[in-house]
Amino acid sequence: MFDLGALVRENIRRLTPYSSARNEFSGTADIYLDANENAFGSPIGGELNRYPDPLQSALKSRVADLAGVRTSQIFVGNGSDEAIDLAIRIFCTPGRDRIMICPPTYGMYSVAANINDAPIDSVPLTRYFQLDVPAILRALTPETKIIFLCTPNNPTGNSLRRDDVIAVIEAFDGIVVVDEAYIHFSTQSSFGSLVDTYPNLVVLQTFSKAWGIAGARVGTAFADEAVIELFNRVKPPYNVGTLAQEAAIAALDQRALIADWIDQTREQRDVLSAAFAKLDFVVRVFPSDANFLLVKMRDAVAVYRSLIDSGIVVRDRSGVILCDGCLRITVGTPDENRKLLEVLGGLNF
Ligand SMILES: *Cc1c(COP(=O)(O)O)cnc(C)c1O
Protein backbone atom coordinates (compact mmCIF):
# COMPACT_ATOMS: atom_id res chain seq x y z
CA MET A 1 0.00 0.00 0.00
CA PHE A 2 1.26 3.45 -0.92
CA ASP A 3 1.18 5.69 2.16
CA LEU A 4 2.53 9.15 1.43
CA GLY A 5 2.49 10.20 5.06
CA ALA A 6 4.67 7.25 6.07
CA LEU A 7 7.04 7.83 3.16
CA VAL A 8 7.84 11.48 3.89
CA ARG A 9 10.71 12.36 6.21
CA GLU A 10 9.47 12.98 9.73
CA ASN A 11 10.88 16.54 9.91
CA ILE A 12 9.36 17.48 6.53
CA ARG A 13 5.96 16.22 7.62
CA ARG A 14 6.18 18.51 10.66
CA LEU A 15 7.79 21.45 8.82
CA THR A 16 6.29 24.91 9.11
CA PRO A 17 7.18 26.39 5.73
CA TYR A 18 8.50 29.93 5.32
CA SER A 19 5.62 32.25 4.71
CA SER A 20 6.63 35.01 2.33
CA ALA A 21 5.03 38.44 2.00
CA ARG A 22 3.58 37.26 -1.31
CA ASN A 23 2.08 34.21 0.39
CA GLU A 24 0.43 36.16 3.16
CA PHE A 25 -1.14 38.74 0.88
CA SER A 26 -1.80 37.60 -2.67
CA GLY A 27 -4.55 40.04 -3.67
CA THR A 28 -3.97 43.39 -5.38
CA ALA A 29 -3.31 46.67 -3.59
CA ASP A 30 -2.30 50.22 -4.54
CA ILE A 31 0.77 50.40 -2.39
CA TYR A 32 3.06 47.48 -1.53
CA LEU A 33 5.10 48.06 1.60
CA ASP A 34 5.15 44.46 2.74
CA ALA A 35 8.30 42.91 1.25
CA ASN A 36 11.10 45.47 1.71
CA GLU A 37 11.42 45.77 -2.06
CA ASN A 38 12.84 48.88 -3.69
CA ALA A 39 9.82 51.18 -3.88
CA PHE A 40 11.47 53.48 -6.45
CA GLY A 41 11.54 50.78 -9.08
CA SER A 42 13.86 48.52 -11.03
CA PRO A 43 16.88 50.27 -12.58
CA ILE A 44 16.48 48.03 -15.62
CA GLY A 45 12.68 48.11 -15.97
CA GLY A 46 10.39 45.13 -16.08
CA GLU A 47 9.06 45.55 -12.53
CA LEU A 48 12.00 43.50 -11.38
CA ASN A 49 11.99 45.41 -8.11
CA ARG A 50 9.10 43.12 -7.14
CA TYR A 51 9.60 39.53 -5.96
CA PRO A 52 8.37 36.89 -8.40
CA ASP A 53 5.12 34.97 -8.04
CA PRO A 54 6.24 32.19 -5.63
CA LEU A 55 3.82 29.66 -7.14
CA GLN A 56 4.23 30.74 -10.81
CA SER A 57 0.47 30.70 -11.45
CA ALA A 58 0.54 32.28 -14.93
CA LEU A 59 3.12 29.78 -16.15
CA LYS A 60 1.38 26.85 -14.47
CA SER A 61 -1.96 27.56 -16.13
CA ARG A 62 -0.22 27.50 -19.52
CA VAL A 63 1.63 24.28 -18.70
CA ALA A 64 -1.56 22.69 -17.35
CA ASP A 65 -3.40 23.27 -20.65
CA LEU A 66 -0.54 21.77 -22.60
CA ALA A 67 0.17 18.77 -20.38
CA GLY A 68 -3.42 17.86 -19.56
CA VAL A 69 -2.92 18.15 -15.80
CA ARG A 70 -4.31 20.55 -13.21
CA THR A 71 -2.24 23.47 -11.92
CA SER A 72 -2.32 21.85 -8.45
CA GLN A 73 -0.48 18.87 -9.99
CA ILE A 74 2.45 21.01 -11.22
CA PHE A 75 5.69 22.04 -9.54
CA VAL A 76 7.94 24.52 -11.35
CA GLY A 77 11.62 24.46 -10.45
CA ASN A 78 14.95 26.07 -11.16
CA GLY A 79 15.49 23.43 -13.85
CA SER A 80 14.22 19.89 -13.37
CA ASP A 81 17.45 19.35 -11.44
CA GLU A 82 15.78 21.23 -8.58
CA ALA A 83 12.91 18.73 -8.58
CA ILE A 84 15.39 15.82 -8.42
CA ASP A 85 17.09 17.36 -5.39
CA LEU A 86 13.79 18.23 -3.68
CA ALA A 87 12.40 14.73 -4.17
CA ILE A 88 15.40 13.25 -2.37
CA ARG A 89 15.26 15.86 0.38
CA ILE A 90 11.54 15.27 0.95
CA PHE A 91 11.65 11.48 1.11
CA CYS A 92 15.15 10.38 2.13
CA THR A 93 16.39 10.73 5.69
CA PRO A 94 20.14 11.30 5.18
CA GLY A 95 22.33 8.31 5.90
CA ARG A 96 19.40 5.92 5.96
CA ASP A 97 16.86 6.06 3.11
CA ARG A 98 17.94 4.82 -0.30
CA ILE A 99 17.30 5.65 -3.94
CA MET A 100 17.49 3.29 -6.90
CA ILE A 101 18.83 4.10 -10.36
CA CYS A 102 19.14 2.03 -13.54
CA PRO A 103 22.47 2.89 -15.17
CA PRO A 104 23.60 3.98 -17.63
CA THR A 105 21.46 7.01 -16.91
CA TYR A 106 21.48 10.72 -16.08
CA GLY A 107 24.23 11.55 -13.59
CA MET A 108 22.32 14.07 -11.48
CA TYR A 109 20.28 11.39 -9.66
CA SER A 110 23.48 10.05 -8.05
CA VAL A 111 24.97 13.49 -7.44
CA ALA A 112 21.80 14.72 -5.73
CA ALA A 113 21.64 11.50 -3.70
CA ASN A 114 25.28 11.86 -2.66
CA ILE A 115 24.76 15.48 -1.63
CA ASN A 116 21.83 14.39 0.51
CA ASP A 117 23.74 11.35 1.84
CA ALA A 118 21.19 8.89 0.44
CA PRO A 119 22.74 5.51 -0.42
CA ILE A 120 22.25 4.44 -4.04
CA ASP A 121 21.27 1.00 -5.33
CA SER A 122 22.09 0.47 -8.99
CA VAL A 123 20.23 -2.06 -11.12
CA PRO A 124 21.73 -1.79 -14.61
CA LEU A 125 19.58 -1.75 -17.72
CA THR A 126 19.63 -4.89 -19.87
CA ARG A 127 21.96 -4.99 -22.87
CA TYR A 128 19.03 -3.66 -24.89
CA PHE A 129 18.96 -0.68 -22.50
CA GLN A 130 15.61 -1.74 -21.05
CA LEU A 131 14.53 -2.09 -17.42
CA ASP A 132 15.31 -5.38 -15.69
CA VAL A 133 12.04 -5.35 -13.78
CA PRO A 134 12.57 -8.58 -11.77
CA ALA A 135 16.04 -7.39 -10.73
CA ILE A 136 14.62 -3.98 -9.72
CA LEU A 137 11.96 -5.62 -7.55
CA ARG A 138 14.52 -7.99 -5.98
CA ALA A 139 16.83 -5.09 -5.13
CA LEU A 140 14.19 -3.06 -3.27
CA THR A 141 14.72 -2.65 0.48
CA PRO A 142 12.46 -1.25 3.21
CA GLU A 143 14.64 1.88 3.01
CA THR A 144 14.17 2.40 -0.75
CA LYS A 145 12.15 5.60 -1.13
CA ILE A 146 12.62 6.66 -4.75
CA ILE A 147 13.29 4.90 -8.05
CA PHE A 148 14.56 7.17 -10.84
CA LEU A 149 13.67 6.13 -14.40
CA CYS A 150 14.58 8.14 -17.47
CA THR A 151 12.69 7.80 -20.76
CA PRO A 152 13.91 8.53 -23.36
CA ASN A 153 17.04 7.66 -21.44
CA ASN A 154 20.19 9.76 -21.31
CA PRO A 155 22.81 8.73 -22.54
CA THR A 156 21.38 5.73 -24.44
CA GLY A 157 18.64 7.68 -26.28
CA ASN A 158 16.01 4.92 -26.30
CA SER A 159 12.62 4.94 -24.65
CA LEU A 160 11.90 2.46 -21.88
CA ARG A 161 9.09 -0.02 -22.57
CA ARG A 162 5.90 1.51 -21.25
CA ASP A 163 4.67 -1.76 -19.70
CA ASP A 164 7.91 -2.09 -17.72
CA VAL A 165 7.64 1.45 -16.34
CA ILE A 166 4.01 0.81 -15.35
CA ALA A 167 5.00 -2.50 -13.74
CA VAL A 168 7.56 -0.69 -11.55
CA ILE A 169 5.09 2.08 -10.63
CA GLU A 170 2.47 -0.52 -9.67
CA ALA A 171 4.77 -2.86 -7.76
CA PHE A 172 6.64 -0.23 -5.73
CA ASP A 173 5.09 1.54 -2.76
CA GLY A 174 7.59 4.39 -2.87
CA ILE A 175 8.01 7.26 -5.32
CA VAL A 176 8.79 6.56 -8.98
CA VAL A 177 10.31 9.54 -10.77
CA VAL A 178 9.95 9.29 -14.56
CA ASP A 179 12.30 11.82 -16.17
CA GLU A 180 10.96 12.92 -19.55
CA ALA A 181 13.56 15.56 -20.42
CA TYR A 182 13.60 14.27 -24.03
CA ILE A 183 9.93 13.31 -24.41
CA HIS A 184 9.30 15.97 -27.07
CA PHE A 185 11.63 14.21 -29.51
CA SER A 186 9.99 10.84 -28.93
CA THR A 187 7.06 9.11 -30.58
CA GLN A 188 6.09 7.68 -27.17
CA SER A 189 3.41 9.41 -25.15
CA SER A 190 4.12 11.14 -21.85
CA PHE A 191 3.39 9.54 -18.49
CA GLY A 192 2.17 12.97 -17.32
CA SER A 193 -1.54 12.25 -17.50
CA LEU A 194 -1.05 9.14 -15.30
CA VAL A 195 -0.49 11.27 -12.19
CA ASP A 196 -4.27 11.02 -11.71
CA THR A 197 -3.98 7.23 -11.61
CA TYR A 198 -0.77 6.74 -9.63
CA PRO A 199 -0.25 8.75 -6.41
CA ASN A 200 3.41 7.62 -6.30
CA LEU A 201 4.32 8.89 -9.80
CA VAL A 202 6.39 12.04 -10.37
CA VAL A 203 6.96 13.01 -14.02
CA LEU A 204 9.76 15.46 -14.82
CA GLN A 205 9.88 17.64 -17.92
CA THR A 206 12.09 20.58 -18.74
CA PHE A 207 12.28 23.77 -20.78
CA SER A 208 15.99 23.10 -21.34
CA LYS A 209 15.89 20.78 -24.35
CA ALA A 210 13.12 20.98 -26.97
CA TRP A 211 11.82 24.29 -25.61
CA GLY A 212 15.24 25.84 -26.13
CA ILE A 213 15.68 27.89 -22.97
CA ALA A 214 18.29 25.94 -20.97
CA GLY A 215 19.75 29.28 -19.91
CA ALA A 216 16.54 30.35 -18.19
CA ARG A 217 16.53 27.29 -15.84
CA VAL A 218 12.93 26.15 -15.80
CA GLY A 219 11.78 22.58 -15.21
CA THR A 220 8.47 21.04 -14.22
CA ALA A 221 7.30 18.10 -12.16
CA PHE A 222 3.82 16.62 -12.48
CA ALA A 223 2.43 14.58 -9.58
CA ASP A 224 -0.54 14.01 -7.33
CA GLU A 225 -1.36 17.27 -5.58
CA ALA A 226 -0.40 15.85 -2.18
CA VAL A 227 3.13 15.29 -3.52
CA ILE A 228 3.21 18.74 -5.16
CA GLU A 229 2.19 20.26 -1.83
CA LEU A 230 5.36 18.73 -0.32
CA PHE A 231 7.53 20.16 -3.11
CA ASN A 232 6.01 23.60 -2.52
CA ARG A 233 6.63 23.32 1.19
CA VAL A 234 10.32 22.50 0.85
CA LYS A 235 11.31 24.65 -2.14
CA PRO A 236 12.92 28.07 -1.63
CA PRO A 237 9.98 30.52 -1.66
CA TYR A 238 11.13 32.39 -4.79
CA ASN A 239 12.80 29.48 -6.58
CA VAL A 240 12.02 30.66 -10.14
CA GLY A 241 12.78 34.28 -11.03
CA THR A 242 10.44 36.61 -12.87
CA LEU A 243 12.65 36.61 -15.97
CA ALA A 244 12.67 32.81 -16.05
CA GLN A 245 8.88 32.60 -15.65
CA GLU A 246 8.42 35.13 -18.45
CA ALA A 247 10.89 33.28 -20.65
CA ALA A 248 8.98 30.02 -20.24
CA ILE A 249 5.65 31.68 -21.07
CA ALA A 250 7.22 33.36 -24.11
CA ALA A 251 8.65 30.00 -25.24
CA LEU A 252 5.19 28.45 -24.94
CA ASP A 253 3.98 31.16 -27.33
CA GLN A 254 6.40 29.76 -29.93
CA ARG A 255 4.88 26.30 -30.25
CA ALA A 256 4.90 26.29 -34.03
CA LEU A 257 8.60 27.15 -34.16
CA ILE A 258 9.44 24.52 -31.56
CA ALA A 259 7.41 21.90 -33.42
CA ASP A 260 9.34 22.73 -36.58
CA TRP A 261 12.68 22.46 -34.76
CA ILE A 262 11.62 19.10 -33.32
CA ASP A 263 10.76 17.85 -36.83
CA GLN A 264 14.12 19.03 -38.13
CA THR A 265 15.92 17.44 -35.19
CA ARG A 266 14.28 14.09 -35.91
CA GLU A 267 15.13 14.34 -39.61
CA GLN A 268 18.71 15.27 -38.86
CA ARG A 269 18.92 12.44 -36.34
CA ASP A 270 18.10 10.02 -39.16
CA VAL A 271 20.62 11.71 -41.47
CA LEU A 272 23.38 11.46 -38.86
CA SER A 273 22.46 7.94 -37.87
CA ALA A 274 22.68 6.69 -41.47
CA ALA A 275 25.93 8.56 -42.10
CA PHE A 276 27.57 7.34 -38.88
CA ALA A 277 26.66 3.73 -39.73
CA LYS A 278 28.67 4.01 -42.96
CA LEU A 279 31.90 5.04 -41.21
CA ASP A 280 34.21 2.05 -40.93
CA PHE A 281 35.36 2.91 -37.40
CA VAL A 282 31.77 3.00 -36.18
CA VAL A 283 30.75 -0.28 -34.56
CA ARG A 284 27.13 0.58 -33.84
CA VAL A 285 24.64 3.45 -33.85
CA PHE A 286 21.97 2.93 -31.23
CA PRO A 287 18.37 3.85 -32.07
CA SER A 288 17.35 7.16 -30.50
CA ASP A 289 14.10 8.78 -29.42
CA ALA A 290 15.96 11.88 -28.22
CA ASN A 291 17.97 14.77 -29.72
CA PHE A 292 21.25 12.87 -29.52
CA LEU A 293 22.77 9.61 -30.69
CA LEU A 294 24.86 7.11 -28.78
CA VAL A 295 27.51 5.75 -31.11
CA LYS A 296 29.91 2.88 -30.41
CA MET A 297 33.31 3.27 -32.07
CA ARG A 298 36.48 1.24 -32.41
CA ASP A 299 38.43 3.95 -30.58
CA ALA A 300 36.02 6.43 -29.03
CA VAL A 301 38.65 8.42 -27.15
CA ALA A 302 40.74 8.93 -30.30
CA VAL A 303 37.67 10.10 -32.24
CA TYR A 304 36.72 12.38 -29.35
CA ARG A 305 40.19 13.98 -29.36
CA SER A 306 40.24 14.39 -33.14
CA LEU A 307 36.87 16.11 -33.04
CA ILE A 308 38.10 18.50 -30.36
CA ASP A 309 41.13 19.30 -32.54
CA SER A 310 38.63 20.27 -35.27
CA GLY A 311 36.65 22.48 -32.90
CA ILE A 312 33.79 20.06 -32.32
CA VAL A 313 32.95 18.83 -28.85
CA VAL A 314 30.80 15.77 -28.18
CA ARG A 315 30.32 13.79 -24.96
CA ASP A 316 32.68 10.93 -24.19
CA ARG A 317 30.57 8.25 -22.47
CA SER A 318 33.10 5.45 -23.04
CA GLY A 319 33.79 5.10 -19.33
CA VAL A 320 30.12 4.51 -18.47
CA ILE A 321 28.64 1.07 -17.74
CA LEU A 322 27.24 -0.64 -20.90
CA CYS A 323 28.58 2.29 -22.97
CA ASP A 324 32.19 1.25 -23.53
CA GLY A 325 33.48 2.69 -26.77
CA CYS A 326 30.57 5.13 -26.96
CA LEU A 327 30.30 8.83 -27.70
CA ARG A 328 27.06 10.74 -27.17
CA ILE A 329 26.54 13.19 -29.99
CA THR A 330 23.86 15.89 -29.87
CA VAL A 331 21.95 16.49 -33.10
CA GLY A 332 22.96 19.93 -34.38
CA THR A 333 21.67 22.17 -37.15
CA PRO A 334 21.96 20.81 -40.69
CA ASP A 335 25.05 22.97 -41.17
CA GLU A 336 26.69 21.79 -37.94
CA ASN A 337 25.93 18.18 -38.81
CA ARG A 338 27.45 18.55 -42.28
CA LYS A 339 30.64 19.89 -40.73
CA LEU A 340 30.68 17.07 -38.17
CA LEU A 341 30.29 14.45 -40.91
CA GLU A 342 32.98 16.13 -43.01
CA VAL A 343 35.46 15.86 -40.12
CA LEU A 344 34.45 12.29 -39.27
CA GLY A 345 34.74 11.31 -42.96
CA GLY A 346 38.37 12.39 -42.93
CA LEU A 347 39.32 10.29 -39.91
CA ASN A 348 41.01 6.91 -40.03
CA PHE A 349 40.94 4.59 -37.04
C1 LIG B 1 19.11 17.70 -19.62
C2 LIG B 1 18.41 16.79 -18.66
C3 LIG B 1 17.60 17.31 -17.65
C4 LIG B 1 17.37 18.77 -17.59
O5 LIG B 1 17.73 19.38 -16.45
P6 LIG B 1 17.35 20.91 -16.26
O7 LIG B 1 17.78 21.12 -14.86
O8 LIG B 1 15.86 21.04 -16.43
O9 LIG B 1 18.10 21.70 -17.26
C10 LIG B 1 16.94 16.44 -16.81
N11 LIG B 1 17.05 15.12 -16.98
C12 LIG B 1 17.79 14.58 -17.95
C13 LIG B 1 17.83 13.13 -18.14
C14 LIG B 1 18.51 15.42 -18.80
O15 LIG B 1 19.27 14.86 -19.76
Q: Is the pLDDT of residue 280 over 90?
A: yes
Q: Is the pLDDT of residue 17 over 90?
A: no
Question: Mean pLDDT over all residues of the chain?
Answer: 97
239 lines ligand 1 (CB under 6 A): no
Q: Region 329-333: what's the mean pLDDT?
A: 98
Q: What is the pLDDT of residue 206?
A: 98
Q: How many residues does the chain have?
A: 349
Q: Region 316-327: what's the mean pLDDT?
A: 98
Indicate which atom in ligand 1 lies nearest the CA of residue 218.
8
Q: What is the pLDDT of residue 20?
A: 86
**Pocket mutation for ligand 1, best pick of 75, 78, 205, 209 (most atoms within 8 Å of C-beta):** 209
* Separation CA 220–CA 222 (nearest Å): 7
Task: Give percent of the chain with pLDDT exceeding 90.
Answer: 95
Indicate which atom in ligand 1 lies nearest the CA of residue 208.
9
79 lines ligand 1 (CB under 6 A): yes
Q: What is the pLDDT of residue 19?
A: 86
- Helix, strand, or coil (residue 37): coil
Q: Is the pLDDT of residue 349 over 80?
A: no
Band of residue 52 on the pLDDT scale cut at 50, 70, 90: very high
Q: Is the pLDDT of residue 348 over 90?
A: no
Nearest CA to ligand 1 atom 2: 181
More confident residue, 178 or 18: 178
CA 86–ligand 1 middle distance (angstroms): 14
CB atoms within 10 A of CB 82: 22
CA 181–ligand 1 middle distance (angstroms): 6
Q: What is the pLDDT of residue 101?
A: 98
208 lines ligand 1 (CB under 6 A): yes
Indicate which atom in ligand 1 lies nearest the CA of residue 105.
13
Note the pLDDT tens digit of each residue in 216-253: 999 999 999 999 999 999 999 999 999 999 999 999 99
Q: Is the pLDDT of residue 129 over 80?
A: yes
Band of residue 285 on the pLDDT scale cut at 50, 70, 90: very high
78 lines ligand 1 (CB under 6 A): no
CA 51–ligand 1 middle distance (angstroms): 26
**Pocket mutation for ligand 1, best pick of 75, 80, 184, 294 (most atoms within 8 Å of C-beta):** 80
Give every strand in the sheet of 219-223, ordered side by side: 74-77, 219-223, 201-206, 175-179, 144-150, 98-101, 120-122
Q: Region 3-22: what's the mean pLDDT?
A: 93
* Separation CA 78–CA 297 (nearest Å): 36
Q: Which residues contact 114 (CB under 8 A, 6 or more apart)?
A: 120
Q: Region 58-75: what's the mean pLDDT?
A: 97
Q: Region 202-220: what's the mean pLDDT?
A: 98
Note the pLDDT tens digit of each residue in 95-113: 999 999 999 999 999 999 9
Q: What is the pLDDT of residue 298?
A: 96
Q: What is the pLDDT of residue 103?
A: 98
CA 97–ligand 1 middle distance (angstroms): 24
Q: What is the pLDDT of residue 22?
A: 81
Dihedral of CA atoms 71, 74, 75, 76 in degrees, nearest 10, equals -80
Nearest CA to ligand 1 atom 10: 181
CA 208–ligand 1 middle distance (angstroms): 7
Q: What is the pLDDT of residue 292?
A: 98
pTM: 0.97
Contact 228, 73 (CB under 8 A): yes
Nearest CA to ligand 1 atom 11: 181
